[in-house]
Amino acid sequence: MRILLASAFVAILSAVSLLAGDLTITSEVTGKGAMAKDGSQVQYLSATRMRINHAGSKTDSLVDYGHEVIYSIDHSKKVITKFTFKDMQETMQALEDQMAGMPAMVTKMMFGDVSEVKVEQLGADTVLGRPCKKVRITLGKMVEELSIDPSLQFPIQDYAKSMAMLNRAPGPMGTLFKRVYQETARLKGVPLRTHITGLMGMDVTTVATAVSSAAIPESAWALPAGYTLKDGGKEMKESLKGKR
């Protein structure tokens, strides 16, 4: 739950279809702030599932769209926490209701004005020898620079919704990330380098070190054996009841 909520990392996808072959992106993550997870990262993307393995934080996130479930895997504690889309949606709505009374001045101080987004074209870039277009997205206090390979496609039909699902957060932060993913999806292509700054002390860079369009083996989606399985949705709901 800490990863999904604290990292701001729930809309249910209306449909999922194959736009391109499977995609595996290996990256190196460096930086500071709440979202920093220094170390290697592997992102597996198919038409029906997405998995992100973070070696730095020893955590994985697995989203299964067909079964409408999210798994958060903590390798340090050997715990798998399961959230259904329905439980996540209901919990986030309850949190947003609790935050409804927060003064606008406070949210603006924390996140800036998230009502307007600015997109700037910064020219050409190259990552792994692949020609990319560099873009800067500014939304509130968050500034994200992306080097996008237009020759690649996300296998998931609606990448913006899928990432908003994984990183759903209540209030202005949720709005901010949802808008950023929407703008990223409109740029057509796959980011191979990102640099995020300006939000809660964040300064995080993710750079692709390998890209593969080979079919993802079924073993990549497997949950680790011998781990404790927890019902994250139930725990979140019980936690919210205690705050009422």
Q: What is the pLDDT of residues 101-150, one digit of tens each?
A: 555 555 566 666 666 778 899 999 999 999 999 999 888 788 889 999 99
Q: Which residue has the tokens 């209701």?
A: 97
- Provide the pLDDT confidence category of residue 209 given band limits of 50, 70 and 90: very high
High-pLDDT (> 70) share of the chain, %: 66
pLDDT value of position 134: 96
Checking if the pLDDT of 176 tops 70, the result is no
Checking if the pLDDT of 216 tops 80, the result is yes
pLDDT value of position 194: 93
Q: Greater confidence, 15 or 225?
A: 225
Strand 228-231 to strand 79-84: parallel, antiparallel, or no bridges (unpaired)? parallel
Average confidence (pLDDT) over 86-112: 64
Three-state SS at 227: coil
Secondary structure string (H, E, C) spanning 78-144 = CEEEEEEHHHHHHHHHHHHHHHCCCCHHHHHHHHCCCCCEEEEEEEEEEECCEEEEEEEEEECCEEE
- Provide the pLDDT confidence category of residue 240 given band limits of 50, 70 and 90: low
Half-sphere exposure of 29 (CA within 13 A, CB side): 23
CATH of domain 2-241: 2.50.20.10
Average confidence (pLDDT) over 175-196: 78
pTM for this one?
0.76
DSSP 179: H
pLDDT value of position 116: 74
